[in-house]
Homo-oligomer: A and B are copies of this chain.
Amino acid sequence: MPQRPVLDFWYDFASPYSYLAAMRIEPLAEAAGVEIRWRPFLLGPIFAGQGWASSPFNLFPSKGRYMWRDVTREAARLALPLKRPDPFPQNSLTAARLALALREKGLASAFTRAVFAAEFGEGRSISDITVISDILRELGVDVASTVSSAQAAAVKSRLRAETEEARTRGIFGAPTFLCADGEMFWGNDRLEQALAWATGERPAGLL
């Protein structure tokens, strides 16, 4: 059986547009015959490298107001619930480490969707250990050992390495979709194009 093409899905748990992408990527990837690699990372260090101490949606209020309205419209269009978490952005460190720890068990996808659904669908705090515990129990994994494994030095350094890889690959926002040939697509709006590119489709006339 030929190997399916792979698409790397880079996301930050604090990113609203990553929520939209995470909730819809699997059926679209399945239909396209593409394998998704879940790549949680932290935008914070990348933003800090650009001189930003917070989300651009907070630093630039007009852009932030617009973003929430646009996400509201997009969530409605995709029939996804939306409740704005407070504070925004949420601290995504614990969730990102857990996603990496759970990836080895094939649970990154289910865990990621559950975290995003709690955060942006219900407005819950993803740095709250009771929220995280509920999600882990729901996934059927042992809460204490999973939380503990996500605090291991190997997972911490893995997340730093992933974030550094994102930066060196030129990732500046989330979600970002990276094809095996390096072609980059930024934003939930580009998910369909990224999947098509991964399968070898090209826009007519592209040099």
Contact = CB atoms under 8 A, between A and B. Distances in A.
Interface of A: 50, 60, 62-63, 65-66, 69-70, 72-73, 76-77, 79, 170-173, 183-186, 189-190, 193, 203-207
Main secondary structure of the interface of A (DSSP, over half): mixed
Contacts of A65: 170
Contacts of A69: 183-184
A172 B62 contact: yes
Given A60-B50, A66-B186, A186-B66, A76 B172 contact: no
Contacts of A173: 63
Given A184-B69, A189-B189, A205 B63 contact: no
A41 to B, nearest CB: 14
User: Which A-B residue pairs are the 3 nearest by beta carbons?
Assistant: A76-B206, A76-B203, A77-B203
Given A62-B170, A171-B62, A172-B66, A73 B186 contact: no
